[in-house]
Structure 1
Amino acid sequence: MISLTERAAELLVADTAFAPSRPGFVGVAVDLLLAHPGLPGPFTGSLVAERPRLRHGFLTARSARVAVVSGPPSPGIDVAIARMAEDLPLPLPLLGGQGVTVLEEASDDVDPAVAGPSPAWGTAGVRVALEAGLDEDGLLGLRRRWALAHALAPVLAAAFANSPLRRGRPTGWRSNRQALRRLRPCTADPRADWTALVMDAQVAATGRTLRQWTRSGPAVRPGIADLTRHLRGVRPPVAARRHLEIDVADRQPGAGWRIPVAVTAALLDDPRAAVQALTATEPLRTIPGLWERAARDGLSDPHLAAAAKLCFLAAYESLARQGVSRDLRDAVAAFVERYVMRGRCPADDVLERATAPHRL
């Protein structure tokens, strides 16, 4: 087995980070949070290894508690959403046959006050996959898109926060899922950013980072298979998977998963909307602790709320220009009216229901 030195690992991560391509294709992955105790170990392993096909995408598992419906790269927002809508119900009989129930919540027992395994293993989100962009500095360039994804991440995380409870009680965070995560600052070099993040991330069940592991002796350094497993387990809000992976939205109620897909794709892939989003998020650059504020306060934070209003209006205008289906545009408009324009997020509804019996 080939063992990787620190430099070899860095070069390999950087080289495989992005596959530059013109924006246009959209991918979606929706997590399904499963009731305790989750799937049996052997069945979880088979989902990971075999990834059974659905009508368009496939089913896999992040852990015994989280199944994932993953859609294929699709030509545009409408097609990506239509394919996911067809695939989402298909795993339910299979999961039900294992005696587990799919929960509506984005999390149920994650404790944001206790550092532990990656929250991706016990929480549910909606991930959007977009093309990396061209290897240039223009509006469709990789560097511009990487920077915009990082600028938008706290705004979208705040707007789509929907995991405020632990075992039925408020934790003080709008998103327990995001509370245990961190958004690293980005630079003008996306490959260097991603490489540093991967190298400095803890390797599962080892208590050390990949960088520390590569500095071990030749006989115990990681191999390529170890690096591949590590990359699968690194789950930051913005990731390089050869494409861009935007993982900032908690699972939304009902068919609400469509909203983060539409808004994220519109703001990143439409050049006009991208310029508006960059302008809207510019005032946030100097605000400290922005990711933590997004996870804790949602859109009750006035700075995030102001940026969200501009971004969501830009996204809606983009969807209209693109001729996206009226049903989807209406759903986005309803979300904007119910939450964004009022400085609220879906977590606020959850908190009101959870605390209603205790009101005087």
Structure 2
Amino acid sequence: MTTLTEQTAELLIAAHAFDPATPGFVGATLDLPVTAAPAQRVPLRHGFLDPRSPHLATVSGPPSPGLAASLARMRDDLAAAQTHCSQSPCSPRAGAGGVRVALEAGLDAAGPLGLAGRWTLAHTLAPVLAAAFANSPLLGGEPSGWRSVRQARHRELPVLPAAADPRRAWASFVLDAAGRDGRTFRERARSGERPRLADLAEHVDALRPPVAARGHLEIDVADRQPGDGWQVVVAVTSVLLDDPRAAAAAAGITAPLAAEPGLWERAARDALTDPVLATAARECFVTAYGALGRRGESRELRDAVAEFTERYVMRGRCPADDVLDRAAARN
């Protein structure tokens, strides 16, 4: 098998970063904390149940033609996954795992549905969504000082990558991200180790940044939500990127955030108690609600988004604040 130089690896990553396509297809992946994950991949009606660790399983749905189809397929698969898990046996553990949303990369063109614009918007929107959906404030059952322990690992990230070209930006991130052994792929290539294509593929698959280029866009910013709150994550994320009018509005709302210092740390620690993030979140969620109505999404889904917006976003709160309130009451 051919070994890779640093330059070859960078070219390969950039070349496979995006498969340009018209936005519209939506996919979702949900982590299910369990007492015992299945030993191997389990086919579900539409997607798959995969073990990620001994105590974490993942339900991944296929790319679906539109939000409604994506949510319906995920509901089917979640019901099947819970049935399988109850036979394992396994049960959810609150406060762990997350919700990832997969969207088309966009077009090789300008405008709100263009690839470059979607890449930029995904990054400026990401900390806003992370703050709104923060829900992992505990470590060992005690408050950690973060509202999202999951997102705290990204606290040193800039809002936007340094490179203007999305393909180059993703390639630079991949090469400079530390792997499981603590070394970057760039360091491995320069050390004389002679990494191979399989090593690069394994490295890319292991990375979990808030925004990833995997042919499509992968948005991994939301913690696991109470009940059916995962549907609000998928709905708000997808409509703010895929609806042209909403995307243009969200870009205007979040563009100034690129200049905010320490925004990822603030999103993970302070969530919507941060006034800058709170203002952006209110405007983005109102924009998302309006877009869902224009697109004819179900009343049930719109009501769920409205309820989340009123309960949390308009009050400068996130689901983690409920967890912290309960922890304070116990003490």
TM-score (norm. length: structure 1): 0.88
Q: How far apart, in 2, do the equivalents of 1:291 and 1:125 lie?
A: 17
Matching residue's letter, 2:306: A
Is 1:178 the equivalent of 2:160?
no
Give how far 1:278 is off: 1.3
Matches within 5 A, 1:1-360: 1-35=1-35, 38-39=36-37, 44=39, 47=40, 51-106=41-96, 124-182=97-155, 183-184=157-158, 185-186=160-161, 187-204=163-180, 206-217=181-192, 220-358=193-331
Q: How far apart, in 2, do the equivalents of 1:98 and 1:27 lie?
A: 26
Give how far 1:327 is off: 0.4
Q: For 1:99-135, what per-residue CA distance to the aligned partner results, in whole angstroms no more than 9, with x for missing partners?
A: 43221322xxxxxxxxxxxxxxxxx000000000001
Q: How far apart, in 1, do the equivalents of 2:135 and 2:325 lie?
A: 12
Q: How far apart, in 2, do the equivalents of 1:82 and 1:96 lie?
A: 22
Size of the alignment, in residue pairs? 328
Q: How far apart, in 1, do the equivalents of 2:19 and 2:286 lie?
A: 30
**SS of alignment partner, residue 313 of structure 1:** helix
**SS of alignment partner, residue 100 of structure 2:** strand
Identical columns (%): 60
Q: For 1:194-214, what per-residue CA distance to the aligned partner results, in whole angstroms no more than 9, with x for missing partners?
A: 10111011222x331111111
Q: For 1:280-317, what per-residue CA distance to the aligned partner results, in whole angstroms no more than 9, with x for missing partners?
A: 11332322000110000110111100000000000000
Q: How far apart, in 2, do the equivalents of 1:105 and 1:280 lie?
A: 30
Unpaired runs of 5+ residues, structure 2, are none
Q: How far apart, in 2, do the equivalents of 1:180 and 1:169 lie?
A: 18
Give how far 1:357 is off: 2.5
Give how far 1:215 is off: 1.4
Q: How far apart, in 2, do the equivalents of 1:283 and 1:213 lie?
A: 36
Q: How far apart, in 2, do the equivalents of 1:335 and 1:33 lie?
A: 23
Q: How far apart, in 2, do the equivalents of 1:355 and 1:343 lie?
A: 19
**SS of alignment partner, residue 129 of structure 1:** strand
Unpaired runs of 5+ residues, structure 1, are 107-123
Which range is displaced more, 281-290 or 170-179? 281-290
CA RMSD of aligned residues (A): 1.3
Q: How far apart, in 2, do the equivalents of 1:133 and 1:312 lie?
A: 22
Give how far 1:65 is off: 2.4
**SS of alignment partner, residue 8 of structure 1:** helix
Give how far 1:137 is off: 1.9
**SS of alignment partner, residue 88 of structure 1:** helix
TM-score (norm. length: structure 2): 0.96
Q: How far apart, in 2, do the equivalents of 1:17 and 1:283 lie?
A: 26
Q: How far apart, in 1, do the equivalents of 2:299 and 2:117 lie?
A: 30
Give how far 1:34 is off: 2.3
Q: How far apart, in 1, do the equivalents of 2:232 and 2:182 lie?
A: 37
Matching residue's letter, 1:72: P
